[in-house]
Structures are given as C-alpha cells and as structure tokens.
Amino acid sequence: MKTIATSKRFGVRTSALLFAGVISMMMFCAVAGYAARAVASTSNAAGGASGTEVKIDNFAFNPVVITVKVGTQVTWINKDDIPHTVDSSEGKFKSAALDTDEKFEFKFSEPGEYPFFCRMHPKMTGKVIVQP
C-alpha cells in the first residue's frame, strides 16, 4: 500500500512540475516574440523600410514608432477584426472608430514627436517622429 500511495503522489507532483514548465515556456516564447517584433518594428521605421503606413493588427500598432519628414502623410490601416481608433495623446489628431480594412490619414506639417493611442484600448500606443 505504501508503494502505491508514493507513486500516486510522485505522479501528481511530476504532472504539476511538467505543467508549470510548459506554461513558463509558453509565456517566455510569447514575451520574447513580442519583444522581437517591437524591436524589428522600431528599427524598420527608423530605416524607412516601412514607408508611411502603420498597420493595426492583433491589438498593436506596427511599426510602433515611425520616423517621417515634415509634410508626410501617415496612413493607419486597421487589419484587426475589431474596431480601433488612432488618437493623438496631445490632441493633434483623432480618428473615428476604424472597422476592418478602414484607413485614417494625417499629414504632419510640423517637426516633433507625436505619441498616439487607441481610445478603445488605451494600452495600444505608438509614436510618429517628424523630422525637418
């Protein structure tokens, strides 16, 4: 009897450790993937590879930071399956709710940094850097 009780307890402990390990690995991969995507987005924007388009997908702006010249029109396109908005943190621009594949455009006429967010999901943020 003692052997059976020990093996059952060992089995539960092993299962719990295995489950915790799997969950930890999934969280690590998710965080690492998000961080890599954010770094890649920022570097692409700085290099000009992403153009003047910001995609909204999976509750994120991509690229997160985009650098443009004065006079450039930036276009945000909602590729998500739920509505989002593009609102300047400083009140410079504000979109209506964008459904899937709808666009919002804004022409930047002054140099500076323009942080923005989604009014419906305030943790979604980004920034346009406008250079002379």
55, 126 Cβ separation under 8 angstroms:
no
The burial of 61, by beta-carbon neighbours within 10 Å (0-12 exposed, 13-18 middle, 19 or more buried), is given as buried
pLDDT digits (tens, 9 = 90+) for 64-96: 999 999 999 999 999 999 999 999 999 999 999
Residue 24 confidence (pLDDT): 55
**What share of the chain has pLDDT > 70, as a percent?**
61
Query: In CATH, what class is 2-131?
Result: mainly beta
* CA dist., res. 52 & res. 47, Å (int): 12
